[in-house]
Amino acid sequence: MIGQRIKVAYNQMDAAVAYYRTICAVNKIPITKKQVYLLAFTAVRGSITNPAAREEFCSTYKSSKATVNNMISALSKKKLFVKNNNKIGINPIIALDFNQPISLRIDISYVN
Helix H or strand E segment including 81: strand 81-84
Q: What is the CATH number of the domain that holds 77?
A: 1.10.10
Domain for residue 107, yes or no?
no
Note down the domain range covering 66. Answer: 31-90
Distance from C-alpha of 72 to C-alpha of 57, rounded to nearest angstrom: 12
Q: Return the pLDDT at 6.
A: 60
Domain for residue 50, yes or no?
yes
Domain for residue 72, yes or no?
yes
Residues 45, 13, 84, 58, CA torsion sign? positive
Domain for residue 85, yes or no?
yes
82 phi, psi to nearest 5 deg: -135, 160
Give the total number of structural domains in the chain: 1
Return per-residue pLDDT of the chain as tens, 112 residues.
Answer: 555 666 665 789 999 999 999 999 999 999 999 999 999 999 999 899 999 999 999 999 999 999 999 999 999 999 999 998 889 999 999 999 988 888 888 887 888 7
Domain for residue 80, yes or no?
yes
Domain for residue 77, yes or no?
yes
Q: Return the pLDDT at 3.
A: 59
Domain for residue 21, yes or no?
no
The pTM for the full model equals 0.86
